[in-house]
A and B are shown apart, each in its own frame.
Chain A
Amino acid sequence: MKNRLKVLRAERGWSQWELAELLGVSRQTVNAIENGRYDPSLPLAFAIGKTFGQAIEAIFTPDDAA
């Protein structure tokens, strides 16, 4: 799954630590999601969407999407 987390975070000038704090997860989790190493659970994906004020599908895209 691809995502725009890194871009959205950079736009707001947040560090991975800050975003992790906002989401209530570890910095490693944020890093792993940004690197495409880990796909978050649905609750975490919703929390990410809420944090950035965007829908989940605006942040996450399936690999096979055109």
Chain B
Amino acid sequence: MEEPSERTLLWRQFKKRFNPWDALNAFLFTGSWFLARHLVAMPNLSHTVRAAVAFLPLPFLAWVFWKEWRKADRMDELERQIMHRASHLALLVTIGMLLTLGLFERGVGVNLSEFGFAEIWFLPWLFQMVIFVITFKRLEQPSA
């Protein structure tokens, strides 16, 4: 059997990580969030409708949850270890952020009324991804 070329192997590794359905779902999730954000602020909609609209992005998030659950089984041991570390550190960074913002609001009189859940929900996710990428990149460097 012919040995696969480096390009083929690169493509296989890429396919393992990238799925067009995930990209579509990410697009729909983002779109649904922007739409929901816009709709819940419309005063001419009833309270019940606005409450229902708030659930709009959740099915797309459920898809992400399902995919992440399955991806965890396919990760190799290093990826799993880094993801675990990134999740742990992201949690600590999030706690630090909320704690500091809370103290700012209480003690320094900073008005955070315009800075609610709608603005910070994605930050733990962002922290986790940034820490994951930094850790992975760090592993690319030779040890001292």
Does A pair with B?
A: yes
The answer, yes or no, to whether A7 is at the interface (CB within 8 Å) is no
Size bracket, chain A contacts: 20 to 34
CB nearest neighbor in B for A24: B76
In angstroms, Cα B74 to Cα A10, docked, is 28
Are A35 and B77 interface neighbours, CB within 8 A? Answer: no
B82 to chain A, nearest CB (A): 9
B interface secondary structure, majority: helix
Residues of A within 8 A of B76 (CB): 24-26, 29
Residues of B within 8 A of A25 (CB): 76-78
Count of chain B residues near A, Cβ 8 A? 18
Q: Of A18, A28, A41, A44, which is within 8 A of B9 by CB?
A: A18
User: CB of A37 within 8 A of chain B?
Assistant: yes
Contacts beyond the supplied A25-B77, A25-B78, A28-B136: 15 A-B pairs with Cβ under 8 Å = A15-B6, A17-B6, A17-B13, A18-B3, A18-B9, A26-B13, A26-B78, A26-B79, A28-B139, A31-B139, A32-B78, A35-B140, A35-B141, A36-B142, A38-B139
Interface residues of B (CB under 8 A from A): 3-4, 6, 9-10, 12-13, 76-79, 136, 138-143
Q: Which residues of A contact B (CB under 8 A)?
A: 15, 17-18, 20-21, 24-29, 31-32, 35-38, 40-41, 44
